[in-house]
Amino acid sequence: MNSIKIDLKNAGIVFSQETKKQAENACGLLHSEKGAGNDFLGWLNLPSEITDEHLLDIENTAQILQKECEIVVVAGIGGSYLGARAVIDALNNSFDLLQKERVFPVILYAGQNIGEDYLFELQQLLKNRKFGIISISKSGTTTEPALAFRLLREQLEQQQGKEAAKRLTVAVTDKARGALKSLADKEGYKSYIIEDNIGGRFSVLSPVGLLPIAVAGLNIRELVQGARVMQAQTSNEISFDENIAEQYAAVRNELYKSGKTIEVLANFHPKLHYVSEWWKQLYGESEGKENKGIFPAAVDFTTDLHSMGQYLQEGQRTLFESVISVEKPNYTTIFPIDEANLDGLNFLAGKRVDEVNKMAELGTMLAHVDGGVPNIKITLPALNEYYLGQLLYFFEKACGISGYILGVNPFNQPGVEAYKKNMFALLDKPGYEKESEEIRKRIK
């Protein structure tokens, strides 16, 4: 089997022996479990540690939801939904909800925002439809998914009765703490544990990601297999010259040191939009701390060449671009000939749409490199579970290495608490009386 590849020849970086050593040391530090955040390394060997029984149990639960539900709503935010959405959106039909003959439930999302209109419209859509809920929250106390879950739970019980609601609700949460665990135990929901040593943004290969992905009808065994291969290919026993996670981590840090403080993850495949959203969280929350870190941004090409293209070509030269390229599309569409040729497009007749896309990709890379935007190219041989498993693990591994090279703890997220504290104070949450008083004085 093939593997994903990384091409750095347009990144404008020549690795010194010192840089290579630094990346190897950072990878070694991860594996030695002696670095910062070492109590959150459960993801590192997760692919090889997932058992067949565990996968089977997830598949069995998925089957119950598949059999009984037209729609399954995943209630979660950040690392508790982005990984699943990345894989499902990449591999499912783009027009899923409108497909007439569906085999598997449509996966929808809630609890990733606090939009009243969004929730109202979702609840309207779910009226009189058979649906199920996967409620995912490691802490079990995050406001956004908890709020959505209460609304959806009530609706499910009203529409389908308490017994069906119990059968069609699954909780994925911490083993002991948090309100979701207590609720799941009390109501008798099927539940899955997120191990203490797996942080949200590194949890896609745990039930957090695997259960929704399985419900969508995708092959979680292939996904895990891809990740296993990448786990082996990026281990600390693989030297820098062969280790693509170390290379990616090293090149981004070298570019950062040279003033390239923004990494733009670009794709030329619209189905990869949520892979970029997942990546943004992974790198943003892992590295953006202590006033350091590359700012992770993302664009979908060619769409965003018509909105961000100007800035990328000629704006501030603080950017570098990492492009995810998919070698072969899954389907074939040939551009037709038109005798009248009024649109002047006969020069494309007989070509695949993907050939046009690939020339746009190449043309963009050359233009951006000429414009002073270094380029990293990450190639997937095809868009399927196996290569996505490789890609997800590759990004996770490189993120851990990159965070250590940067000198931060990549596995905490202390900054995320600041908005929550203010929000709770403003909403008069019990226990926040002092903060409430202070914040009200400030906004008077």
- Report yes or no: 220 and 59 within 8 Å, Cβ to Cβ: yes
33-41, 136-144, 361-369, 433-441 -> range binding ligand PA5 (CB under 6 A): 136-144
Should residue 207 be labelled a site residue for ligand PA5 when binding is judged by CB under 6 A? no
- Strand spans (E) along 13-168: 71-75, 106-110, 131-137
- Report yes or no: 268 and 362 within 8 Å, Cβ to Cβ: no
Please give the span between the terminal C-alpha atoms of the chain, in angstroms, as a whole number.
63
For ligand PA5, give the closer residue by CB, 279 or 386. 279
Should residue 143 be labelled a site residue for ligand PA5 when binding is judged by CB under 6 A? no
- Exactly one of 58, 71, 138, 155 binds ligand PA5 (CB under 6 A); which one? 138
- Report yes or no: 321 and 374 within 8 Å, Cβ to Cβ: yes
**Least distance to ligand PA5, CB of residue 413, Å:** 6
Should residue 132 be labelled a site residue for ligand PA5 when binding is judged by CB under 6 A? no
Residues with Cβ within 8 Å of residue 402, at least 6 apart in sequence: 26, 248, 249, 252, 253, 283, 286, 287, 410
**Which residue's beta carbon is nearest to the bound ligand PA5?**
200
- Exactly one of 79, 83, 207, 296 binds ligand PA5 (CB under 6 A); which one? 79
For ligand PA5, give the closer residue by CB, 50 or 180. 180
151-159, 198-206, 353-361, 386-394 -> range binding ligand PA5 (CB under 6 A): 198-206
| Number of chain positions touching ligand PA5 (CB under 6 A) | 15
Q: Give the count of beta carbons closer than 10 Å to the beta carbon of residue 121.
A: 11
162-170, 196-204, 333-341, 344-352 -> range binding ligand PA5 (CB under 6 A): 196-204
DSSP for 168-183? Answer: TEEEEE-SS-SHHHHH
Three-state SS annotation for 413-442: CHHHHHHHHHHHHHCCCCCCHHHHHHHHHH
Tell me, residue by residue from 243 to 282, as one string, x for binding to ligand PA5 by CB under 6 A and - for no binding: --------------------------------------x-
**Least distance to ligand PA5, CB of residue 196, Å:** 12
75-83, 95-103, 149-157, 329-337 -> range binding ligand PA5 (CB under 6 A): 75-83
Task: Give the SS3 label for residue 401.
Answer: helix
Omega before 364 cis (within 30°)? Answer: no
- Exactly one of 277, 285, 321, 354 binds ligand PA5 (CB under 6 A); which one? 285
Q: Spell out the alpha helix ranges (H) of 198-332.
A: 207-215, 220-233, 244-257, 273-287, 309-314
Question: Could you tell me the two tokens for 12?
Answer: 């404008």
**Least distance to ligand PA5, CB of residue 166, Å:** 22
Please name which of 293, 351, 281, 357 lies closest in space to residue 323, comparing C-alpha atoms. 357
Should residue 410 be labelled a site residue for ligand PA5 when binding is judged by CB under 6 A? no
Q: What share of the chain is helix, strand, coil (3-state, %, to 5)?
A: 55, 15, 30
Should residue 201 be labelled a site residue for ligand PA5 when binding is judged by CB under 6 A? yes
DSSP for 61-84? Answer: HHHHHHHH-SEEEEE--GGGTHHH
Q: Would you call 420 a catalytic residue per the annotation?
A: yes
- Exactly one of 10, 92, 112, 137 binds ligand PA5 (CB under 6 A); which one? 137
Q: Would you call 306 a catalytic residue per the annotation?
A: yes
Should residue 142 be labelled a site residue for ligand PA5 when binding is judged by CB under 6 A? yes
For ligand PA5, give the closer residue by CB, 269 or 397. 397
Should residue 139 be labelled a site residue for ligand PA5 when binding is judged by CB under 6 A? yes
- Which of the residues are catalytic? 285, 306, 420
Interface with ligand PA5 (CB under 6 A): 77-80, 137-139, 142, 145, 199-201, 281, 285, 413
